[in-house]
Amino acid sequence: MLLPVLCGGCAALAAVLYALYCWIIPALVQYNGTVALLWHDVFVERMLDTFTRSTRPQRMLKAVQKNATRGDPLSVISAIDRFCRHSEWAMNVGDEKGTILDSVVSEVNPAMALELGTYCGYSTVRIARLLPPGARLVTLEFNGDYAAIARQVIEWAGLEDMVQLVEGASGDWIPRMKEHFGVKTFDFIFLDHWKDRYLPDIKLLEECGLLRKGTVVLADNVICPGTPDYLEYIRNSPSYESNYFRSHLEYTKAEDGLEKSVYVG
């Protein structure tokens, strides 16, 4: 009699734990960005890395290779969005804020664009697919493992000819942009890297003369995880005209947003 009871108890516990992991906790953390980041980036990612002996970027790449059509950027974007909504959350700009990114890129129609923080190439693909013929996008990624995945995602989307991905620290690369890439100024800049680098890097871009009158700077995650020092600077500087686009942290219902700032000199 004891064994069936123990087996039944174990089965019930397993069912409860499965429900907690798959439905209850993910639903609860949807409305709190800080808790969502801890749950997805600390607990879930590390657990899956251990169990699958792979990394989240590698799993994302497999989803692209399985579900996206080569040479079709939209299918790559859709494959990553499905992966992040239904399989495993990841900190891309996401589909909701991605439409804001799309509209700003389309409005600016940049000939020369810069992205700080490539991660796995999701936002890179979103930006590059909207660039006019002959335009270039320089995207910078500090993590070499992420960069290796991003290159494959960008290639799968068929955009490798218009994207230049470089590895390294933004503080090292920004002063070398003019010399290395033959860049005079950037028309559009997307900030989506380490949040504590937003403020020093925008100041460095200014110092290096990489902004022109009319350059548009779009910054992600200004509420969650948050960039209060950057927002204070950019909103109070007479060199910028800024607007906040309220949205949600990627693939959740927690508040986040994008700050669009036009450099007026």
Record the tokens describing residue 119, joined without a space.
């991660």
Q: Which domains, from first to last, does the chain contain?
A: 94-263 (3.40.50.150)
- pTM assigned to the model: 0.91
Average per-residue pLDDT for the chain: 92
Residues 106-131: tens digit of each pLDDT = 999 999 999 999 999 999 999 999 99
Catalytic residues: 192, 195, 220-221, 250
Residues 211-237: tens digit of each pLDDT = 999 999 999 999 999 999 999 999 999
Residues 148-196: tens digit of each pLDDT = 999 999 999 999 999 999 999 999 999 999 999 999 999 999 999 999 9
Residues 63-97: tens digit of each pLDDT = 999 999 999 999 999 999 999 999 999 999 999 99
